[in-house]
Structure 1
Amino acid sequence: MAVALFIVGGFLVGGVVQLVRSGATKFSVGLVGVLAALALAGGVAWLLPGDS
């Protein structure tokens, strides 16, 4: 599952780069950026050891 979250985060980071290059609104760049950060943080959290 962590790999899938990292892949989604990578796509979203690429989307942020493309949105900035195309001059999109700050809201859309921020929204996609927050989603990318959440996906990457979820991938890291999935890898952390814990009780299961």
Structure 2
Amino acid sequence: MGDVLPILLLALAGFLVGGVYATWKTARGFAIMLAVAAVMAIAGGIGWMIYG
């Protein structure tokens, strides 16, 4: 499971970035929350790959 989790986090970040793109024009506040979650997922996935 330790090798799969960073990839799942990066995949989740991809879905979140897609949500940011889809909602940016209609709901900017929600898009910003999705962007923050995407950045956290990217940082977690990369951090897990480097230090895990």
TM range (shorter): 0.7 to 0.9
Name segments (4+ residues, structure 1) moved above 6 Å: none
1:8-50 per-residue CA deviation (whole Å, 9 max, x = no partner) reads: 0000000000012xx2232111100000000011000001136
Question: What is the TM-score normalised by the length of structure 2?
Answer: 0.81
Rg larger in 1 or in 2?
A: 1
Matched residues in 2 for 1:14 and 1:31: separation? 13
Matched residues in 1 for 2:48 and 2:12: separation? 14
Alignment length (residue pairs)? 48
* CA-based RMSD: 1.2
Question: What is the TM-score normalised by the length of structure 1?
Answer: 0.81
Q: Show structure 2 runs of 5+ residues with no match.
A: none
* Structure with greater contact order relative to length (CA < 8 Å, sep ≥ 6): 1
Q: Percent identity?
A: 33
